[in-house]
Amino acid sequence: MFLDAVFEFPTFLFTFLLALVVLYWVAVLFGGADIEAFEAVDIGLGGMPVTVAVSVVVTVGWFVSLAAMTVLGGPVLGGVVLLAALFAGLLAVLPLRRLFPTTTGDSRTAFVGRTCVIRTGTVTETFGQAEVTAADGSSAIVQVRQTGADSFSAGSPAVIYEYDQNGEFFWVIPHPGQRETS
């Protein structure tokens, strides 16, 4: 009875797709496929990878189709079960979108141009930390460096003007209103 239901319309469509999904994830597991291969495809799921969304839709669709055809049976209801299974699969994806927040580029570069507050006693070419506030109101302690002979002390304001990806730190200059005159 189980095999009859698995190979009956519309469940056999989901069975075939489920076999492809399982093969894909086994290939990913053993390094034979790139998990990020389809991430560039935007299907409006708020940052959720296409491979995950398709896997969920197919798996839920297969289960709903199998259960419905086992309980209801009959080829007449196949079209209705197919639509219901697809709908159930899509509904299952919607709450999962929260697990995959969208990002807009490198969040570190969002600090460039912002004012920060120095938290260490000094800032040199090799040492320094500052606190910076993001657009959303959250704050972060970041590594900062300077190239000049400017004097920084704890609590002094500075402006972040560049991010160094290799060193993973920010370049700072004194805040324009705080430059000391000699």
Return the pLDDT at 93: 84
Both 71 and 27 in a single domain? Answer: yes
Domain extent for 63: 2-99
> Is there a single domain that holds both residue 91 and residue 137?
no
Give the total number of structural domains in the chain. 2
Are 143 and 128 in contact, with CB atoms under 8 Å apart? yes
Q: Which residues lie closer than 8 Å to 126 by C-beta, 6 or more apart?
A: 145
The residue to which tokens 């296409």 are assigned: 50
User: pLDDT tens track of the chain, all 182 residues?
Assistant: 677 778 888 888 999 999 999 998 888 888 777 666 666 555 666 667 788 888 899 999 999 998 888 887 766 677 888 899 889 988 888 888 777 766 554 567 788 889 999 999 999 999 999 999 887 788 889 999 998 888 899 999 999 999 998 888 999 999 887 655 43
Which run of H or of E encompasses 63? helix 50-71
